[in-house]
Amino acid sequence: METIVKRRIKQMIKGDQNAYEEIVELYRDKVFQLCYRMLGDRYEAEDIAQEAFIRAYINIKSFNQNLKFSSWIYRIATNLCIDRIRKKKPDYYLDAEVPGTEGLNMYSQVSADTARPEVELESLELRDEVQKQIAMLPEKYRSAIVLKYIEELSLNEISEILDLPLGTVKTRIHRGREALRQQLKNV
Amino acid sequence: MSCPDRIVDYMHDYLDEEITESNKQELKQHLQACPDCEQHFRELEKAIAFVQSTSHIKAPDGFTAGVMAKLPQEKKRLKMGRWFKRHPLLSAASLFLMLMTGSIFSTWNEDQEFSVSKQPNLVVENGTVTVPEGEVVKGDVVVRNGKLNIEGQVQGDVTVINGEKYLASAGQVTGEIEEVNEVFEWIWYHIKEAASNAASLFEGEEKDQSLQ
Ligand SMILES: [Zn+2]
pLDDT digits (tens, 9 = 90+) for A58-104: 998 888 888 889 999 999 999 999 999 888 755 454 444 444 433 33
Whether the predicted pLDDT of A50 surpasses 80 = yes
Residues at Cβ < 5 Å from ligand 1 ion:
B 3, 34, 37
Q: Which of B11, B46, B51, B181 to mutate to test the interface with A (most CBs of A within 10 A)?
A: B51
B85 touches chain A (CB under 8 A): no
Whether the predicted pLDDT of A110 surpasses 80 = no
Q: Which residue has the higher pLDDT, B93 or A181?
A: A181
Residues with Cβ within 8 Å of B139's Cβ and at least 6 positions away in sequence, in order, are: B117, B119, B155, B156
Average confidence score pLDDT of chain A: 82
What distance in Å separates the CA atoms of residue B187 and residue B134, rounded to the nearest whole number?
A: 35
Task: Quote the pLDDT of residue B204.
Answer: 41
Could B66 and A50 be called an inter-chain contact, meaning their C-beta atoms sit closer than 8 Å? yes
**pTM for the whole structure:** 0.59
What distance in Å separates the CA atoms of residue B151 and residue B34, rounded to the nearest whole number?
A: 56
Residues with Cβ within 8 Å of A8's Cβ and at least 6 positions away in sequence, in order, are: A19, A20, A22, A23
Mean pLDDT of A97-121: 39
The Cβ of residue B36 has, within 10 Å, a number of other Cβ atoms equal to 11
Could B47 and A180 be called an inter-chain contact, meaning their C-beta atoms sit closer than 8 Å? yes
Could A54 and B70 be called an inter-chain contact, meaning their C-beta atoms sit closer than 8 Å? yes
What ipTM was predicted for this assembly?
0.77
Å between B72 CA and nearest CA of chain A: 8
